[in-house]
Every structure is written in structure tokens, then in C-alpha cells.
Amino acid sequence: MSILVNKDTRLLVQGITGREGSFHTTQMMEYGTNVVGGVTPGKGGQWFEAAGQRVPVFDTVKMAKEATDANTSLIFVPARFAVDAIYEAADAGIELIVCLTEHIPVLDMIDARAYLDTKGINLIGPNCPGLLTPGEAKVGIIPGSIAIPGNVGVVSKSGTLTYEVIDALTKMGIGQTTCIGIGGDPIAGLSFIEILALFEDDPDTDQIVMIGEIGGNAEEQAAAYIAQYVTKPVTSFIAGRTAPPGKRMGHAGAIIEGKAGTAESKMAALTAAGVTVAENPDEIARIVAERMN
């Protein structure tokens, strides 16, 4: 099985005719993702062609949803339009929204997240690489070539480290159920806890890999949740251990203030919860492999 996306996912791409949208939509279609349409205001009636297929382009998400019965939307639009794109997808009845856009203002995301919560709509991101269920669906920019189907769930704040860990697992013959980059912005969609709960309930996920980073307290909250509710083995790594206090590193949420959000505090909380914390990303695949023997 998998979580959130699979072969039954019917994907709509908002911003499909833009440079990034068209490039990555082509990659997703070549991977086998069921892309059913795209949205670019003013370009409704056109067609997007890739991988020997063509899908219709619509002016609005509402029109696209009615014509294609899409259940997932991927947002490839600039930051100044991204929040409106999220609202539009939500109002059209899309069940899962994946927003890759970065530099969305925090105050705008506070309102958007609250709105999605009232509707019970799941959001991945923003400022994330999306998610991938190997062999079934690629929704975002995670390279499909580095993943293989298996029984390890991967959830990460970091895009690049996500790829590195997936690749290392694959090279050891360890496949993945679903790989998810949740992003590291201060206000985002599904959290570590919500993804952990989905992996815990997935019968085909036997182990979980969680990649965190400095800043905020999401990892400490996840540790408390793991200690109480997660029965499957969890392996973790915290990025940014050498970052100086007060300096922002990478994601907008990756900033240390005083003693809060440090790598040490996160690692201590996870260790206390029974999580195996790797000293470096290269150790993760080895730890996971040892548990399989």
C-alpha cells in the first residue's frame, strides 16, 4: 500500500503551462502518474502534450475538477499567486493540495492553513519537493529514478536530504512505501505527527525514516507522539547541527533562538522516545537494513 498518493491519484497541475510546471509535469507523466489536466487562467481549451499523451488545460480549478474528477492538485505558480491557488483548489473540492512554491508570506499561510482545516483538506508544503509512491505516482519533483517500491516510509523537512536518503536506501535494495517532503516553513500543511500516524496505520510500512532540521519544535512534538502512539521502528536524522544560534539556515523555519530548536534538544527528545538517531545521513540506510536482518 501507500499513503496519500497512489495509482488511483487523479492529478491536476496548477501552472501547467509555465516553465517549471511544464517541465515537471512531463517528468510526472513519463513516470506514469495519472495527470488528468492542468490549469492556467486564460489558456483554457489548450492541450498539454507529453509522454505520448495529452491532457486538457482549463481556466479554473472548478472547471477542471468538474471535467476530470481530479482529487489532487499540484501548485506550480509564483509566490504572489500561490495562496490564491490554494484557496481555489480548496473551493473546488480537491482533497489533497501539494504546494511546491517557496517565499509565501507567513501571515498568508496562517489564514490559508486555517481555511483548509475548516474544510478538512490535506496540504503538503509549501516550499517542499512533494511526494512519491514508487512505481505508482510522483507528485512533485522527487526524482522517480532513485526510488523503488518497498516497506519503508520516508518523511522529511529537507528536499536534498530526502533524495540522498532515498537513494541510499535504494542502493541497499531497501524500497519505500511513500516518500514525502513536508517542507520546513513555519506554517505548513501536514506535520510530522500527521504523516507518522498515516505510516503507523499503513499495513505495508514496516519502518519509518524521519529527517528533521533545526528550528521550531516539530521534532520534539513528533518525539512525544512516537513515544505514545508509534509502534514501528523509527530512524531519524537532524540537519543543521553546526548552525550558529540566531542564524537562519535554509528553510524559513530553520532558525535557532536561544536553546529552543537546537539539534541537541531534538536529538535528545527523539532518543528518549526510542528513536534511533543517526549521526549522519549515510548511517540511515545501514540502521534500517540492520533492523531487517
Percentage, residues of the chain above pLDDT 90: 88
Active site residues: 251
Locate 18 and state its grid cell.
Answer: 509555465
Beta-strand (E) ranges in the chain?
11-14, 35-39, 47-50, 53-58, 72-75, 96-99, 122-124, 130-133, 137-140, 149-156, 176-181, 207-213, 234-239, 276-277
Least confident of 4-13, 111-120, 238-247: 238-247
Mean pLDDT on 254-265: 67
List the 35-39 sheet strands across, edge first.
47-50, 53-58, 35-39, 11-14, 72-75, 96-99, 122-124
Least confident of 15-24, 118-127, 195-204, 243-252: 243-252
pLDDT band at 8 (very low <50, low <70, confident <90, very high): very high
Residue 17 main-chain phi, psi, to 5 deg: -90, -5
Residue reference for cell 516518500: 179
Instruction: Tell me if 71 sits within 8 A of 96, measured CB to CB.
Output: yes
In the chain, ranges of CATH 3.40.50.720 domains: 11-124
Mean pLDDT on 59-70: 98
Q: At what angle do helices 263-272 and 218-229 cross, to 10 degrees?
A: 0
Mean pLDDT on 15-19: 97
Query: For residue 149, what are the β-bridge partners?
Result: 176
Q: Which homologous superfamily is 11-124 in? A: NAD(P)-binding Rossmann-like Domain (3.40.50.720)
Residue 293 CB contacts under 8 Å (≥ 6 apart), including other chains: none
Strands 176-181 and 35-39: unpaired
In the chain, ranges of CATH 3.40.50.261 domains: 142-292
CA distances from 146 to 137, 171, 182, 235 (A): 14, 9, 18, 20
Look at residue 249 and tell me whether its pLDDT is greater than 80.
no
Locate 287 and state its grid cell.
Answer: 540502521
The pLDDT of residue 53 is 96
Instruction: Tell me if 164 sits within 8 A of 237, measured CB to CB.
Output: no
Its pTM stands at: 0.93
The pLDDT of residue 293 is 74
Mean pLDDT on 173-182: 98
Look at residue 241 and tell me whether its pLDDT is greater than 80.
no
pLDDT band at 197 (very low <50, low <70, confident <90, very high): very high
pLDDT band at 232 (very low <50, low <70, confident <90, very high): very high
The pLDDT of residue 108 is 96
**Distance in angstroms (rounded) separating the CA atoms of residues 195 and 168:** 21
CA dihedral 51, 174, 129, 117 (to 10 degrees): 110
The pLDDT of residue 247 is 55
Using one digit for the tens of pLDDT, what is the confidence trace for 129-148?
999 999 999 999 999 999 99
Q: What's the chain's average pLDDT?
A: 93
Using one digit for the tens of pLDDT, what is the confidence trace for 161-172?
999 999 999 999
The pLDDT of residue 252 is 45
**Distance in angstroms (rounded) separating the CA atoms of residues 184 and 204:** 27
The pLDDT of residue 250 is 52
Residue 80 main-chain phi, psi, to 5 deg: -70, -15
Look at residue 195 and tell me whether its pLDDT is greater than 50.
yes
Q: Which CATH architecture has domain 142-292?
A: 3-Layer(aba) Sandwich (3.40)
Instruction: Tell me if 75 sits within 8 A of 100, measured CB to CB.
Output: yes
